[in-house]
Structure 1
Amino acid sequence: MPDLVWDEVRDCFDPGLMGALPDLHVPDTSAEDWQALLDLVAEKGWRHEYIEGTTPLAVPSAAHVLARPLDAECPQLRVWPTEGMLAIFRFLADEEIDFDMDLREIQGQHRLDAFCDFLCRLGRHLAKPVVMCPEGAYDRPVLGFDPVLDRVRVLGD
């Protein structure tokens, strides 16, 4: 049984309603959680790319990335948990793991299942919730991984 059923949540994946790049985040994190994310990406063998500015580089430690000067460009970790589905993590602050995924890449039950699998793997590895909000609306969670229930569920009203 899937965590979410496409016909029941399709509006949550409508780029016209949610914005093409909704805000996903893991709240209340630390540099250790960022490192756990980097370790998970390596452990799962997900295709990935670390970029500073426009320069692809080897993935450094999370402590190194988060200790960069304030005026430095924000590095990105681009992760493909499955073919044709990209998550872009931005190292904005150690207290929150922030990332985007393009809703146009998450259409239909098969892609929704892959998306839920990714959120579950991330949330389980960090033992934390993973929340999705409409683009630019952090105060309106729509769905996310619930570590207590150990599944992705609809949030909010």
Structure 2
Amino acid sequence: MTTFAAPMVLSVAILRPGGDGGHGVAAGVAEGRWLGRNRGAPRSTPGDDGAVADLMWNDVSELFVPDGSLLDAYVFDTTIAEWQAFVDLVRLQGWWFEYLEENHPRSLPDHVEVVLERRPEMGILLQVRPVPEVLVNVHFFTVEEIEVDFSPEELQGQERLDVVCGFLGAVGRRLGKPMVLTPENGPRHPLIGYDVAADRVVRIAS
């Protein structure tokens, strides 16, 4: 078992996230951006290049049972430079994204410092879709921690597990740090996470 230290083409998406930060899906053309896949981008979903999936659904399915709560993912002990690298990755990967201030779509600033400076004054959210069916809410709570959340309902089955593993792996590789998936508000209780040394997502929960 691997142990992690806790703190411790445009606008072609067919799904639209809820403006309130929820994980609802509606038909219609999405606002925000869905950029064409950058062929030079890092691997985003296990299996895209013929690789074997990091985790098998039958081995971790009990960690994803919907119970009305979200699943959070964290990178701990981050810096402004790592936040910038994370936001740049969202653009590089070609994922759909929409940046919201007080639930109103705005252009995502080039420099993440601007976002973090505005955060104490207003509600800010970056919504990302690695694939149309999976929404990742990115919160800018603090410089020292990257926190995002997923809905377990959207992560059922091997294909969706590959998506979340691909997201954790892409972020972890870019930052050179673990990124762990946990129960909602449970950063000290990781379920799975990107292992830097192994360069793959592994199960952590016993």
1:74: how far off? 3.4
1:33-54 Cα offsets, whole Å, 9 max, x none, are: 1111111111111110000111
TM-score, normalised via structure 2 length = 0.71
Map of 2:114 onto structure 1: 64
Is structure 2 residue 77 aligned with structure 1 residue 31? no
Deviations 1:102-126 (A, max 9, x none): 1111111111112111111111011
Query: Offset of 1:26 from its aligned partner?
Result: 0.6
Alignment partners' CA distance in 1, 2:92 and 2:54: 24
Runs of 4+ residues deviating >3 angstroms: none
Deviation at 1:68, TM superposition (A): 2.4
Structure 2 CA distance for partners of 1:142 and 1:49, relative to 1, 3 Å: same
CA distance in 2, matches of 1:50, 1:133: 24
Larger Rg: 2
Amino acid of the residue matched to residue 123 of structure 1? G
Q: CA deviation at 1:136?
A: 2.3
**1:3-36 CA distances to partner (integer Å, 9 max, x unpaired)?**
11101100111122xx531121111111111111
Residues 75-102 of structure 1, C-alpha deviations (whole Å, 9 max, x = no match)? 1110001111111000000100000011
State the secondary structure of the residue aligned to 1:104: helix
Question: Relative to structure 1, is the Cα distance of residues 137 and 10 closer, same or farther in structure 2, using a 3 angstrom cutoff?
Answer: same
Contact 1:134 1:140 in 2 (8 A): yes
Corresponding residue SS for 1:12? helix
1:3 is aligned, of 54, 68, 71, to 54
For CA contacts below 8 A with separation 6 or more, give which structure has more relative contact order: 1
Identify unmatched segments of 5+ residues in structure 2.
1-51
CA RMSD of aligned residues (A): 1.3
What does residue range 77-156 of structure 1 map to in structure 2 within 5 Å? 77-156=126-205
Match in the other structure for 1:76: 125
**Percent identity of equivalent pairs:** 40
Give the Cα–Cα distance (whole angstroms) in 2 for the partners of residues 89 and 44 of structure 1. 16
Q: Distance in 2 between matches of 1:74 and 1:147?
A: 33
**Which structure dedicates a bigger proportion of its chain to helix?**
1
In the alignment, the residues of structure 2 paired with residue 36 and residue 52 of structure 1 have an alpha-carbon distance, to the nearest angstrom, of: 21
